[in-house]
Amino acid sequence: MEYVYAALLLHKLDKEVNEANISSVVKASGVDVNEAQVKSLVAALADVNIDEAVKAAPVAVAAAPAAAAEGAPAKEEKKEEPKNEEAAMEGLSSLFG
C-alpha cells in the first residue's frame, strides 16, 4: 500500500510517477523497497489517468454522509460506510494490480 501512497503523493506534487521517484519516497518513509512491486505498480499505472481514478473513488465514500444528511439514522451510516470504503478500495486495488 505504501507504493500506491507514494505514487499518489508524487502525482499530487506534479512529479513524474516512475520507479526511481517511487523508490525514493518509499525509502524516505523508512521502508525497504521491493523493486518488483515498484516495477509492477509503474507498469499498472502506465495507462491509468490518476486524476480520474481519484475523482471516481470518493464518490462511493461520499454516498453514506449524504444519506445521513437526509435524515438516515446514524447507525445505518456506520454500517454503510465500510461497505462503500471497501468498494472504493476494491476499485482502486484493481487499478494498481
- Give the pLDDT confidence of 10-44 residue by residue, as tens digits: 999 999 999 999 999 999 999 899 999 999 999 99
Task: For residue 44, give the nearest of 13, 26, 22 by alpha carbon.
Answer: 22
Half-sphere exposure at residue 83, Cβ-oriented, CA atoms within 13 angstroms:
8
C-alpha span between 15 and 8 (Å, rounded):
10
C-alpha span between 86 and 60 (Å, rounded):
9
pTM (two decimals): 0.56
Q: How confident is the model at residue 1 (pLDDT cuts 50, 70, 90)?
A: confident
